[in-house]
A = this chain, B = another copy of it.
Amino acid sequence: MDSIAERLADKQKEISVGEFFERNKHILGFDSLTKALVTAVKEGVDNSLDSCEEAGILPDIKVVIREVDDEEYRVSVEDNGPGIPKRKIPDVFGKLLYGSRFHEIRQSRGQQGIGVSAVVMYGQLTTGKPTLVRSKVKEKDYAQEMKITLDTKKNEPDVLSKEVVLWEDKEHGTLFETTIRGLLRSGKHSVFEYLKNTAIVNPHARITYVRNGDTTVFKRATDQLPGKTKAVKPHIEGIELGTFAKMAKNSDRRKLVSFLVNDFSRISYNTARDICEEAGIEEEMKPRDLDVESCKKLLKATKNVKIMAPKTDCLSPIKSMLIKKGLKNVLKGYRPEFYAPPITRDPEVASGNPFQVEVGLVYGGDLPSDGPVRVLRFANRVPLMYKKGGCATTTAIQQIDWRIYGLDQKGGSGMPRGPVIILIHVASTRVPFTSEAKEAIADIPVIVDEIERGLRECARELRTHLNKKEKRKKVSKKFMIVKDILPMIAEKSASIVGKETPSLDKVMTNIMGVVYIDKKMEWNNGAAEGIIEIMNYTSKEREMSLFIEKPYPETELLDSSREPEHDGDYIEWKLEKLKPSKTSKIKFKFSNLDKEDIDGTDVFIDGVNETHLIGAEPLPDDWGVELADIHEED
């Protein structure tokens, strides 16, 4: 029979996954030559960070890009991760849809098992060259080296060569090197920008970037690894009817209640019974006997039964202090005048997936002040570089009237303008990206709301800062005038009446009512020498603590005129009994600090009401230090 139907039917064939993604490379982030390089680096770095963290290793990652021909680059990513055992190397790099995190419900960067194999595929597609992979696990004295391509027809790796090599100075780690067609650009959408932003939200990582021989190092700002995330069971709130029915059908549990209690998260035995009762379904029945209608009733019933929100140990937010460290570490060149204490919101739930929003805001200094604010967007600690317009973060920013927080904004909507950088991080077990290239977060109302709330919290801090700045500018002006003019008047008066010039400290104290802190730092023979003067121009004896943050974990306190109370991530000095009108000095020396960093170390004070403080900031409450209880009037 050769009918039309038969003829058309004979053309129906299976299409291989490899061929599908080869043709649709744009949905994997390879839609332009510039983006191709960013994507290749991103997939490598995501994998390195994920595996280091899972293995409890502080990541040390090196990215090298070199132009080898017109529009052709050799890209390599090297890490100090646990390494990949020989037998798994081909599949990890040469097979699409192969990975470890697809079936787990917890926060991680890569989840789909496509990333790095897509880079291998794109490389061979555009330059015809295989990818070189080298990996060493701790237990072996040598590394494995393979040249790999991806057979797109079969979606299987082709190993072209296998070798055992020595990898000196490397205890464990993985390196891959691919040659791809691309275009290396600078600016907003560059590899540099991607790595810089990665460093901000991963302050525990050390990232080295070598670009045609030029090296940039993003130093580690903390030795603290992110909290490990735990895989959780699905939460019933977000489950689709079909998935629920399938789970029930495949379940070995003998009773419906135990199916509900054991195969879902946060359902207690009592809750499970309530659900069955509400649905009018026998709790003792076998889950695999449930028909679709019963499943539907059960899911409907969950809406009327109180079920605990999902556990959040599957999430690993960056946390306020580290966001600030990360921002400071990378933005110090701009010398911003104000870092709003970053906000880590409580976890929320979107369709059964827990998520958590973090927001940071940096203001002033040398940040460009004549354009729209800059936004750094992140999902699960990965920078989002493209499709800003269609992202939940942009929606949230634009629906706030920023004028009430002291920023410029046309008509009270759209992008505000001014010397501001806003950081937004959304962590989730399932970030709802708008596409597989993971470029923008979908406008889910509950997520947009959370982002907006975080933004408003930061914005209120900004408003307070701007108000205080105005107020302290006035106090400071008064203080400077009094400090300069009063002695002159005293001297003049004394000389007229022929008496000795009186001490003015008491008078100053009565007029001013402030604690004045003056910090100077100098660069001396490779070390940073600092001196902090604390003048008590208030009428009370003062007890206080001084804090300085160390810019890097490797920064060391070499010398200090006063024994510090604490010497770790930060230095704390206690100052007891500083009498009215008295001055105290602390001298100290730091090693392992870059020359350009010495101005970045702010002084924070605990024990003095901030309205009485000039020249220092009150200690933020996220340092893990128990704050003094201050009761004073302004």
A residues at B contact (CB < 8 Å): 1, 3-6, 8-9, 11-17, 19-20, 23-24, 26-27, 31, 51, 54-56, 82-85, 87-88, 91-92, 95, 97-103, 112-113, 123-129, 137-139, 172, 181, 240-245, 292, 295-296, 387, 389-390, 432-436, 442
Contact = CB atoms under 8 A, between A and B. Distances in A.
Residue picked from A19, A88, A242, A389, most chain B C-beta under 10 Å: A242
Contacts of A91: 12, 14
A295 B128 contact: yes
Contact of A12 (B92, B124, B242, B433): B92
A245 B101 CA distance: 34
Contact of A5 (B82, B98, B103): B82
Contact of A8 (B14, B55, B436): B55
A390 to B, nearest CB: 8
Contact of A128 (B3, B125, B128, B242): B242
Contact of A13 (B13, B99, B240): B99
A404 B97 CA distance: 53
B88 A9 contact: yes
Contacts of A240: 125-126, 181
Contacts of A1: 139
Nearest to A85: B9
A128 B433 CA distance: 25
Contact of A54 (B3, B8, B112): B8
Q: Closest 3 interchain pairs by CB? A: A11-B100, A128-B292, A125-B242
B100 A55 contact: no
A98 B13 contact: yes
A426 B88 CA distance: 45
A459 B139 CA distance: 72
A434 to B, nearest CB: 7
Contacts of A295: 128
Contacts of A442: 26, 31
6 contacts: A4-B138, A14-B98, A15-B103, A27-B436, A127-B242, A128-B244
Nearest to A50: B8
Given A4-B56, A8-B55, 10 more contacts: A1-B139, A3-B138, A4-B54, A5-B82, A8-B100, A16-B97, A126-B240, A126-B242, A128-B296, A181-B240
Contact of A3 (B56, B98, B139, B241): B139
A467 B552 CA distance: 72
Nearest to A6: B85
Contacts of A16: 97
Nearest to A32: B442
Contact of A435 (B12, B56, B113, B435): B435
Given A128-B292, A137-B5, A100 B241 contact: no
A12 B389 contact: no
A428 to B, nearest CB: 14
Contacts of A84: 5, 9
A296 B95 CA distance: 26
A172 to B, nearest CB: 7
A27 B97 contact: no
A628 to B, nearest CB: 44
Given A8-B54, A20-B112, A99 B15 contact: yes
Nearest to A172: B5
A8 B82 contact: yes
Given A126-B240, A240-B125, A435-B27, A55 B12 contact: no
Given A3-B138, A3-B139, A12 B127 contact: no
A31 to B, nearest CB: 7
A245 B126 CA distance: 10
Contacts of A296: 128
B435 A102 contact: no
A229 to B, nearest CB: 14
A292 B123 CA distance: 13
Nearest to A174: B5
Nearest to A95: B14
A181 B12 CA distance: 29
A15 B128 contact: no
A243 B125 contact: yes
Contacts of A20: 97, 102, 112
A139 B2 CA distance: 10
A463 B607 CA distance: 76
Contacts of A123: 242
Contacts of A172: 5
Residue picked from A1, A244, A434, most chain B C-beta under 10 Å: A434
Nearest to A127: B241
A15 B97 contact: yes
A415 to B, nearest CB: 16
A17 B21 CA distance: 11
Contacts of A82: 3-5, 8
Contacts of A181: 240-241
Contacts of A9: 84-85, 87-88
A260 to B, nearest CB: 17
Contacts of A432: 26
Contact of A88 (B3, B12, B23, B51): B12
Contacts of A101: 11
Residue picked from A14, A101, A434, most chain B C-beta under 10 Å: A14
Contacts of A51: 8
